[in-house]
Structure 1
Amino acid sequence: MTKLATVLAFDLGASSGRALIGELLPDEASGRKQLKVTEIHRFPNEPIAVRGHLHWDILRLLQELKTAIRKAFQEGFAPQAFGIDTWGVDFGLLDASGELLGNPYHYRDSQTEGIVEELSELIGKDRLYEQGGLQFMPFNTINQLYAMKKANSPKLDVASTLLLTPDLLAYFLTGEKVCEFTMATTTQLYHPKEQQWNTALMDQLGIPSQLFMEPIHPGTIFGTLSPDICAELDASPMAAVAVGTHDTESAVAAVPAKGDLPFAYLVCGTWSLLGTELEHPIVTPEAQALDFSNEGGVGGTYQLLKNIMGLWILQECKREWDEQGSKLSFAEIVVQAQSAEPFRSFIHPDDPSFYAPSGMIGRIKAYCRQTSQPVPESVGEIARCILESLALRYRHALTQMEELTEQSFSGLHMVGGGIQNKLLCQLTANAIGRFVWTGPVEASAIGNMLMQLVALGECANLQESRELVAASFPIEEYAPEHSEAWNIAYKAFESLTME
């Protein structure tokens, strides 16, 4: 079959990365195009602790990207373009000669402890929110840079350029330094209303504003795979495309929503991001009070969303069970959760005690004990507690979002790796009392591919791209069940998690 285009998407999450080939194919029977996705490489992404700090092993990640490029050409795909999306906020610093100044810090590094409170006192929470539009999260780029400034880091004195993670990896592959728009908006240093860097705030904090470049938008070709990389990997030149480099925004681009109606989505993985797509940011006092973020999206949109701790909590529990020798798969854990007693105990997934790695099981038990609930002991009880709490937290956030936007959503689109947990999908439908539509699983990588296809002229715009997703991937529907029991459970959950 004749291929209309072939692209390579690198999708790096906080715990693993993957490289996938997207082939745009004509469907002669329907006359519509279809996107075929093939995974060619998958690899772990594990932070490294060094002398009290937590870092990303950025050069190892670069090597994994190179391995994927080599595999792509060895397997005969010959992609015309590539794009990279990753988690947000983290960055590398380059000196004047383009050399990397040390391994980038991991967003869970302890250097930012207490910085949110300090900046809120120094600048004022109202100004920080109105000019940055983000939830007050310890890992935001502004907090990392201010922590480095406070520590008198010599890196800031000699740095010439700041590159956020996907742009840094693209620089290694192309030699081109760029700053992509969606990632820029995760820094809390980009003014969402004025659509420019907040240099006045940078100057006040002593953060060098010359480190930041003018952002480019998703769907822009900015370079090619460099000749030395092509020679090293026996690869042909590929166009480098600025996709929605923040993985959340790439995932939202792949939500198969129909028409122009507003829709609610949940990007479900290590983190859960529940939001809706808007033409303009909402940086009102009400949005600040409800702790919603405004992040730049693809196609000139903004995403009003809430960060929720997500399946990180269950992942950490699984890691502890593995260390104890149980070696249960996630599927086996879900089976045990399915059999456990419902509505026995809840946690607030965004409680600060669940932010740090290690000791998660003990902290869940401590939370339940401190809130006078039955303490979960078995694998099934703990997993059920986590999954029901996440589902109820989604309902809470969805209700708040409807208040802010004055919109009513008929259901929830769930995308990302977390939708493979079918129990969580059903519990979410039950909790919100509405339909849940799931798919695709590899939403970030697919959204990455879509912006490459826009850049190559194969998709006209965001809506046509979403129609391609709907035509190419199965969507599963979950109907709500046991509504009254869930309404009672939600009241109990609210009493524990009053914000």
Structure 2
Amino acid sequence: MAQKNYIAVDLGAESGRVMAGRFDGGKIALEQFHRFPNGPVNLGGTLRWNLVSLWSEIQNGLREAASKLGGSAVSVGVDTWGVDFVLMNKNDELLGQPWNYRDKRTDGMMQKASSRVPRPEIFAETGLQFMQINSLYQLLAMCERDPGLVAEAKRFLMVPDFFHWCLSGSRVVEFTNATTTQMLNATTRDWAFDMLRKLEIPTDMFPEIVTPGTNLGTLRGEVAEFTGLGKLNVVTPATHDTGAAVAAVPTRRTGNPDWAYISSGTWSLMGVEVDNAVLTPKALEYNVTNEGGVDGTYRLLKNIMGLWLVQRCKVAFAALGKDIDYAELTRLATEAQPFRSLIDPDRAEFLSPPNMPKAIAEECRRTGQVIPETEGQFVRCALESLALKYRQVLSWMEELTGVRVEVIHIVGGGTQNQLLNQFTADACGRPVFAGPIEATALGNVLLQARAAGDISSLSEIREVVRSSETIGEYTPKDSAAWGDAWGRFQELVKV
């Protein structure tokens, strides 16, 4: 087939990109046209997203794409992080400045929700991991903080759906991101209206839910004119970045959850692909989550704090005049003493601390361990602890599915940290395949290609990724040392 071009708008918590996937029928190649920063904005003591600025950057990126691609683009689709959303009134005006999920207004909201609807009932409905960042607790906090504003809301859209509205005027929410809200019924795959009413959250603002690959229409006239892309189709990919990334995992295994994935970045999302949500009491006990995947699958997974630990250490070091890049931090960690101190990465103290090294030091002090002193010791503590957390979650996945995981695939930006890749193989005792780095963007464009009829199935998407990308392999080693560390970690997470 002649080469076809699909445009991905891929927004992460730190940056956004506009990229094209150039597909020749067998292989896919990505080209980046525009990259721009992203991050929370401090506003009046709160954390917000500047979505209007992001929309401006998206348009600039699409304009650049048009200048390079001419009229050869087939479609465009947007993916972002999960849980965050906008509210709009009857005139499609944004209601307030959109909130960032790390804002502290959700403190105590999980407890407030479970006082109205018991925790087991919420899990039986939604199948989602209990985290205070979830849309449910954000919306509950808004109902308490400003009920008048919520009462005015006529439309609830997740962040990628808002940008699809900006592009095409569509007013729907895509399935994979809707499942991150803890407001979707995991059995009916529609909004959990009864539960929402019990929580006194208005329900008439929740729109239709659509599946990945849905054509949302063409670009608005003014967007088509400004960008030069004309009446380009807008197609929703898996709009949750992890959903798109998992679609691009280059596995040959199908029909059995005997492979695990880690979407590695600011967050590490580790899990297996299953046909139906796992809603058992043991799943509730382990506080795992069931997030939507492609073709009606579910991603049974655990959200883990991820490389956020290292990112925030880097920021703290820079504030002290030590602006050390990630490659050097990893080298320093490689040279640091193994297993000197360990932490549970998922403790609430690490969600949004003012100073990450101080938070890690305080946790080591609390648990009676030696306190890291050097940059390398802090980073090694974070990476070893993440790998051991992966081992814990791996054991949960195997127990919940009754299937032994044979291999682990790591995808996303975190695959560039070769030390963490090796630690993961060592800690879990499984071979690790690392790559692709750009799994989310690949999943985005290849799902658009499938919607256009150029790819026939999810397994073919994964075959294209295998043919197009270089995948690294890491073999487990140092099993005795990691076994001893695992024993320490198990005791640590009980403290």
TM-score, reference length from structure 1: 0.97
CA contact (8 A) 1:299 1:461 kept: no
- Deviations along 1:397-433, whole A, 9 cap, x unmatched? 0011101110101120000000100000011111011
1:315 maps to which residue?
Answer: 311
Which of 456, 462, 484 aligns to 1:488? It is 484
- Deviations along 1:96-138, whole A, 9 cap, x unmatched? 1111112211001111100011112221010010001111100
**Equivalents in 1 of 2:69, 2:81: separation in Å?**
30
- In the alignment, structure 1 residue 83 sits paired with structure 2 residue 77: yes
SS at match of 1:166: helix
2:165 maps to which residue?
Answer: 171
Which of 194, 199, 204 aligns to 1:205? It is 199
- In the alignment, structure 1 residue 34 sits paired with structure 2 residue 19: no
Amino acid at match of 2:484: I
**Equivalents in 2 of 1:376, 1:161: separation in Å?**
48
The Cα shift of 1:211 comes to 0.7
1:244 maps to which residue?
Answer: 238
**Equivalents in 1 of 2:300, 2:60: separation in Å?**
36
SS at match of 1:490: helix
1:100 maps to which residue?
Answer: 94
- In the alignment, structure 1 residue 55 sits paired with structure 2 residue 48: yes
- Deviations along 1:356-396, whole A, 9 cap, x unmatched? 14211101011111111111010010010000000000001
Amino acid at match of 1:396: Q
Amino acid at match of 2:265: G
Amino acid at match of 2:239: T
The Cα shift of 1:203 comes to 1.5
1:99-118 paired onto structure 2 within 5 Å: 99-118=93-112
**Equivalents in 2 of 1:355, 1:310: separation in Å?**
10
- Deviations along 1:210-240, whole A, 9 cap, x unmatched? 1111211001111111111111222222111
CA contact (8 A) 2:408 2:432 kept: yes
Amino acid at match of 2:18: A
**Equivalents in 2 of 1:259, 1:266: separation in Å?**
16
The Cα shift of 1:339 comes to 0.4
SS at match of 1:193: coil
1:20 maps to which residue?
Answer: 19
Which of 392, 417, 424 aligns to 2:413? It is 417
**Equivalents in 2 of 1:340, 1:52: separation in Å?**
38
**Equivalents in 1 of 2:69, 2:270: separation in Å?**
38
The Cα shift of 1:159 comes to 1.1
1:29 maps to which residue?
Answer: none
**Equivalents in 1 of 2:225, 2:77: separation in Å?**
20
Q: Which runs of 4+ in 1 moved over 4 A?
A: none
Amino acid at match of 1:342: P
1:433 maps to which residue?
Answer: 429
Amino acid at match of 1:47: P
**Equivalents in 2 of 1:235, 1:258: separation in Å?**
36
1:133 maps to which residue?
Answer: 127
CA contact (8 A) 1:3 1:23 kept: no
1:72 maps to which residue?
Answer: 65
SS at match of 1:188: coil
1:227 maps to which residue?
Answer: 221
**Equivalents in 2 of 1:405, 1:332: separation in Å?**
40
The Cα shift of 1:139 comes to 1.0
SS at match of 1:139: coil
**Equivalents in 2 of 1:240, 1:103: separation in Å?**
26
Amino acid at match of 2:75: A
1:72-471 paired onto structure 2 within 5 Å: 72-76=65-69, 78-260=72-254, 261-262=256-257, 263-471=259-467
The Cα shift of 1:22 comes to 0.1
SS at match of 1:240: strand
**Equivalents in 2 of 1:222, 1:359: separation in Å?**
43
The Cα shift of 1:91 comes to 0.6
The Cα shift of 1:311 comes to 0.3
Amino acid at match of 2:10: D
TM-score, reference length from structure 2: 0.98
**Equivalents in 2 of 1:377, 1:207: separation in Å?**
47
Moved more, 43-52 or 73-82: 73-82
CA contact (8 A) 2:367 2:492 kept: yes
SS at match of 1:80: strand
Amino acid at match of 1:248: T
What is the root-mean-square deviation of aligned Cα atoms in Å? 1.2
SS at match of 1:17: strand
Amino acid at match of 1:347: I
The Cα shift of 1:178 comes to 1.3
- In the alignment, structure 1 residue 43 sits paired with structure 2 residue 36: yes
Moved more, 291-300 or 94-103: 94-103
SS at match of 1:118: helix
SS at match of 2:209: coil
**Unaligned 5+ residue runs, structure 1?**
27-32
CA contact (8 A) 2:173 2:209 kept: yes
Aligned pair count reads 492
The Cα shift of 1:189 comes to 1.1
The Cα shift of 1:476 comes to 0.7
The Cα shift of 1:194 comes to 1.9
CA contact (8 A) 2:116 2:198 kept: no
SS at match of 1:317: helix
SS at match of 1:210: coil
**Equivalents in 2 of 1:247, 1:392: separation in Å?**
24
